[in-house]
Amino acid sequence: TRSSRFICSTRAAHNEEAAAKAAAAVAETGAPTIFDKIIAKEIPSDIVYEDENVLAFRDTNPQAPVHVLVIPKFRDGLTMLGNAEPRHVDVLGQLLHASKIVAEKEGILDGFRVVINNGVEACQSVYHLHLHVVGGRQLKWPPG
């Protein structure tokens, strides 16, 4: 296995392999994720923006002063960007546009980053497509 599996989480090393396998399995099956409960408002979240198709809420483990997740309300097979199909083009555009609205609302239009982690090797941990909108500090490049 690649060392990247060891840097995605703070879990003990002996759990890493199992965690990676579980994540990959969820990506395959499309099992419900924690984001379904956030969308259903069964779990509270700090919502920044919402419309018919998109929900944006603050990440509970922020990596910058502003760190908001933008997700489709209807996953429709979009566990990850790598599963995108032509039918998803509209919602993909809506997610990007919502990211701009979030940046505007948060006052970071002068400098922000939109990130999609796709798959185990990119440290994706929730298999419901989400865009990270990050900013509010000087961001470094390249990312890790």
125 binds ligand TR5 (CB under 6 A): yes
99 binds ligand TR5 (CB under 6 A): no
Catalytic residue list contains 130? yes
* Residue with smaller CB distance to ligand TR5, 99 or 124: 124
Q: Considering CB under 6 A, how many residues would be counted as binding ligand TR5?
A: 12
79 binds ligand TR5 (CB under 6 A): no
Of 30, 76, 117, 119, which lies in the binding site for ligand TR5, with binding defined by CB under 6 A? 117
Spatial separation of the C-alpha atoms in residues 140 and 70, rounded to whole Å: 22
Spatial separation of the C-alpha atoms in residues 98 and 94, rounded to whole Å: 6
Q: How far is CA 61 from the centre of its chain?
A: 12
* Residue with smaller CB distance to ligand TR5, 7 or 43: 43
Q: How many CB atoms lie within 10 A of CB 143?
A: 8
Q: How many CB atoms lie within 10 A of CB 100?
A: 14
Vertex 91: Cα angle to 97 and 30 (nearest 5): 130
Task: Determine which one of 67, 88, 128, 130 is catalytic.
Answer: 130
In the complex, which residues of this chain contact ligand TR5 (CB under 6 A)? 34, 43, 45, 59-61, 69, 117, 123-126
Q: Name the residues annotated as catalytic.
A: 130
